Amino acid sequence: MMKSELKRPLPTSLRRALLAAVFAALLGLTLASCSSTSPSSEAPPSGNQPESTGLPGLSSQPTVIGYAQMDIDTSARAGGSIETFNIEVTAGTTVYDVLRKSGVQFESESSSFGILITSIKGLKQGSDGPMSGWLYRIGNSYGEVAADKAEVKDGDLITWVYSPDGTYPGLEW
């Protein structure tokens, strides 16, 4: 390849001009979206909230709304136990997010319903027969949706329960 065929970088002045144009366009979009909203009667943000980046939908950190306790319960299985974790919760945190934030090793798969947990700490669904597997509860209620669809609130107790036979441990009909 000859030296004259090499591509040359844009001159510094042109790169700065392009960057300034992109910034001005983003700033214009931001200001336009702010001016099209109606005035709000809400109080100004308190000091414990993250500072805004100035761009719609972006903030430097999600706001912590509290903590949830997560238990992993394998007590329905011989030699099983219960382990407890306390996990920070932000707005929109799901049961799946709590499990992920705990650092516990798990496996999951996507389905048309959402994310399903197939293994926690090496204990896989199907280990004790075709009906065995993992279920979750929030408080005393077993989940009715996939783990990535159930939102968690401050103070919630999430329990991942291993069921060796497909029944709901601790639930009486």
152 burial type by CB count under 10 A (0-12 exposed, 13-18 middle, 19+ buried)? buried
Which band of pLDDT confidence, cut at 50, 70 and 90, is reported for residue 3? low
Which pLDDT value is given to residue 41? 30
24 has pLDDT over 60: no
What proportions of the chain, in percent to the nearest 5, are helix, strand and coil?
A: 20, 30, 50
Query: By C-alpha distance, which of 144, 142, 139 is closest to 154?
Result: 139
* Residues linked to residue 147 through DSSP beta bridges, in sequence order: none
Which pLDDT value is given to residue 100? 97
Residue type, 34: C
Q: Provide the percentage of residues in the chain whose pLDDT is more than 90.
A: 55
In the chain, domain spans: 11-38+49-61, 64-163
User: Domain 64-163 adopts which CATH fold?
Assistant: Ferric Hydroxamate Uptake Protein; Chain A, domain 1 (2.170.130)
Which pLDDT value is given to residue 79? 87
Predicted TM-score (pTM) above 0.85:
no
Tens-digit pLDDT profile for residues 100-136: 999 999 999 999 999 999 999 999 999 999 999 999 9
Strands (E), the chain: 64-73, 82-90, 106-111, 114-120, 123-124, 133-138, 141-142, 157-163
| Interacting residues of 123 by C-beta distance below 8 A, sequence separation 6+ | 74, 77, 162
Tell me the mean pLDDT in the region 38-60: 42
